[in-house]
Amino acid sequence: MAIPPSWIIQTGRSIWTQIWQLMMSQLAPRNDRGEYQRPQSEFRHRVDGRYSPAPNRYRLYVGWSCPWAHRTLVVRALKGLEDSIDITMLRGDANAGGWALPALEHGCNTLAQLYRFANPGYTGRSTVPMLWDTQTNSIVNNESAEIIEILNAEFNEYATHPELDLAPIALQDSIEQWNDIIYQSVNNGVYRCGFAQTQAAYDQAHSELFATLDRIDELLATQDYLCGELLTLTDIRLFTTLIRFDLVYNNLFKCNRRRIQDYPRLQIYLQKIYNLPGVAETCNFQTILQDYYGNLFPLNPGGIIPQLPDMIYLHRWLE
């Protein structure tokens, strides 16, 4: 069969481009260079003063597929806070335009409605993770970098592993330096690739991403973790991006220069963290695939969900 006439191709491309740009403007805000600009989190309270530490007072709203929410699940597991901080696992729902609650809460079916329940008139982003205070029915924090700091430091009295400190004072400078590096080029870098709306924006993000991955792979030849021989929150922040890399970012987000499987030391590093007690249980690979490929319609309009790739290296214990 012949391909469609050129006028049909040109018309279809023009219409699709306009629709794509409209959808991307809502999904991924951009600057005038076409670079993805991640909005800032708006709820930044700490667990002090009004919000005092207590068992079973706070609840985490998370989604399996979200790497930012995944951070909180990993720290919760490593610290042994499963019996003290409950979770509500949300479902990505493209038709609802966001996260759906598993059951009706405070008259709400979606996370966006719950945000407005706590803050009437709220019009901002309704994101996970979100730390909720069940005592006051209010949002404590929805910035993942701060929530994992709270989980690491503020609930030791109720933790099974209070001795584990993922942010030791002696490593603070190194932690902050690496946090800045990996946020820009890796954690947000994969989104800067996938959500880029110009070739130049994509090329820049792609270059920065793999320059950082190359650097980390070389670093891991001489030490176990980013800040030395101790696991820190910085490693958790990197882990939740790397665990999704070969699954979705490599293909769907066009981060395709290499896979994590192609990095000899990054592969071992990822495996080492994955095999820490409780961490594997926080990784739901099938839902990650389903949510990224099924819900990010502008990036995958056909909605085809790929098969799980071979990631058998994650399931082997280090020898």
Separation CA 303–CA 319 (nearest Å):
40
- pLDDT surpasses 80 at 315: no
Question: Known catalytic residue: 274?
Answer: no
Q: Among residues of the chain, what percentage have pLDDT more than 90?
A: 79
Separation CA 218–CA 216 (nearest Å):
5
The predicted structure's pLDDT at residue 36? 83
The CA-atom distances, in angstroms, between 193 and each of 66, 248, 260, 316 are: 17, 12, 16, 31
- pLDDT surpasses 50 at 319: no
The CA-atom distances, in angstroms, between 220 and each of 10, 208, 224, 228 are: 49, 19, 6, 9
Average per-residue pLDDT for the chain: 92
- pLDDT surpasses 50 at 65: yes
Q: Which two tokens stand for residue 144?
A: 């993942």
The DSSP H or E segment spanning 273 is helix 264-274
Contact call for residues 259 and 250 (beta carbons, < 8 A) = yes
Please tell me which residue in 36, 61, 191, 269 is annotated as part of the active site: 191
- pLDDT surpasses 80 at 128: yes
pLDDT in tens, 28-61: 788 888 888 888 999 999 999 899 999 999 999 9
Alpha-carbon dihedral of residues 106, 74, 227, 170, nearest 10 degrees? 60
Around 6, how many Cα atoms within 13 Å sit in the side-chain half-sphere? 0
Separation CA 285–CA 314 (nearest Å):
12
Average pLDDT of span 114-140: 97
**Pick among 1.20.1050.10, 1.20.1250.20, 3.40.720.10, 3.40.50.11290: CATH of 169-315:** 1.20.1050.10
- pLDDT surpasses 50 at 171: yes
Separation CA 308–CA 297 (nearest Å):
19
Domain boundaries, the chain: 58-158, 169-315
Q: Residue 187: how many CB atoms within 10 A of its CB?
A: 23
Contact call for residues 73 and 131 (beta carbons, < 8 A) = no
Place of tokens 């922040």: 237
Reported pTM? 0.93
Q: Which two tokens stand for residue 36?
A: 């993805």
Please tell me which residue in 66, 193, 227, 283 is annotated as part of the active site: 66
pLDDT in tens, 227-243: 999 999 999 999 999 99
- pLDDT surpasses 60 at 110: yes
pLDDT in tens, 5-24: 787 777 777 766 666 666 66
The predicted structure's pLDDT at residue 30? 80
Buried b (16+ CB within 10 A) or exposed e, 162-181: eeebbbeeebeeebeebbeb
Average pLDDT of span 302-319: 72
The predicted structure's pLDDT at residue 10? 79
Average pLDDT of span 181-210: 97
Question: Known catalytic residue: 283?
Answer: no
- pLDDT surpasses 90 at 106: yes
Contact call for residues 77 and 239 (beta carbons, < 8 A) = no
CATH architecture, range 58-158: 3-Layer(aba) Sandwich (3.40)
The predicted structure's pLDDT at residue 228? 98
Average pLDDT of span 175-195: 97
Contacts of 131 (CB under 8 A, 6+ apart): 58, 59, 60, 61, 72, 139, 140, 141, 142, 147, 150
The DSSP symbol for 59 reads E
